Amino acid sequence: MSEEAVEWQLPRHPRSVGRSRARLREQAADWKLPEDVTDTAVLLLSELMTNAYRHAHVSPGREIRTRYALEDDGRRLRVSVTDASDTMPTFRNPSPEDESGRGLILLTLLADTWGTAPRRDGVGKTVWFSLDLDGITPAVAPSPTASAHGGSTAATSVVPPTHGTPPSSRR
């Protein structure tokens, strides 16, 4: 089973949400992912990044790490966000007037799978989601985006989630 991945470290700041979306779009274009998958991934990444910068109350200087990976020989996109907070996300029951609180609901509805896990090698947690590429095999080549921006293509081991959902009816 091969994997192509890129990682970024960003400051815990509102601007990092937009930067992570732009970097995911660039990487998805390099991987020639379908536009609908890219749009869904960018929306869900935005939710996870927003949660990480708003709710991960940690010491100054702690960064947020994002990781985008094609797994299972390019049949699945997996996106993860790691922050330094040990507090796991929880579902909320937002009212129609609430301006926030729908991120995990969106994950459940749009992602094929998702989950959370404490970091194995330090303080914090990782929240991830995956999207099946519906039989589309993207053209995977070494990413110029990763080398141009200092990303890493080092593979990491998959941590079993402590919470997850079954595949949704996204199709």
Q: What angle, rounded to 10 degrees, do the helices at 15-30 and 35-55 form?
A: 150
Q: Examine residue 169 and state whether it is found in any structural domain, yes or no.
A: no
Q: In percent, how much of the chain has pLDDT > 70?
A: 73
What's residue 156's pLDDT? Answer: 33
Q: Examine residue 138 and state whether it is found in any structural domain, yes or no.
A: yes
85 pLDDT more than 90: no
What's residue 136's pLDDT? Answer: 53
Beta pairing, strands 4-11 & 163-164: unpaired
Range of the domain at 9: 4-164
C-alpha distances (whole Å) from 64 to each of 52, 97, 132, 141 are 7, 29, 25, 26
What is the Cα–Cα distance from 11 to 148, expressed in whole angstroms? 19
124 pLDDT more than 70: yes
What is the Cα–Cα distance from 79 to 112, expressed in whole angstroms? 12
pLDDT band at 139; cut points 50, 70, 90: very low
Q: Examine residue 78 and state whether it is found in any structural domain, yes or no.
A: yes
159 pLDDT more than 70: no
pLDDT band at 100; cut points 50, 70, 90: low
Q: Examine residue 43 and state whether it is found in any structural domain, yes or no.
A: yes
Structural domains in the chain (count): 1
Q: Residue 100, Cα to own-chain centre: how many angstroms?
A: 19
Q: Examine residue 11 and state whether it is found in any structural domain, yes or no.
A: yes
Average pLDDT, stretch 39-57?
A: 89
Q: Examine residue 170 and state whether it is found in any structural domain, yes or no.
A: no
160 pLDDT more than 90: no
CATH label of the domain that carries residue 153: 3.30.565.10
Q: In percent, how much of the chain has pLDDT > 90?
A: 43
State which of 26-30, 49-53, 90-94, 106-110 shows the largest mean pLDDT: 26-30
Close Cβ partners of 129 (under 8 Å, ≥ 6 residues apart): 44, 48, 78, 79, 80, 107, 111, 112, 113, 114
Close Cβ partners of 59 (under 8 Å, ≥ 6 residues apart): 84
What's residue 153's pLDDT? Answer: 31
Residue 163 or residue 67, greater confidence = 67
Residue 125 DSSP label = E
What's residue 115's pLDDT? Answer: 95
47 pLDDT more than 60: yes
Q: Examine residue 171 and state whether it is found in any structural domain, yes or no.
A: no
Average pLDDT, stretch 67-90?
A: 91
Q: Examine residue 75 and state whether it is found in any structural domain, yes or no.
A: yes
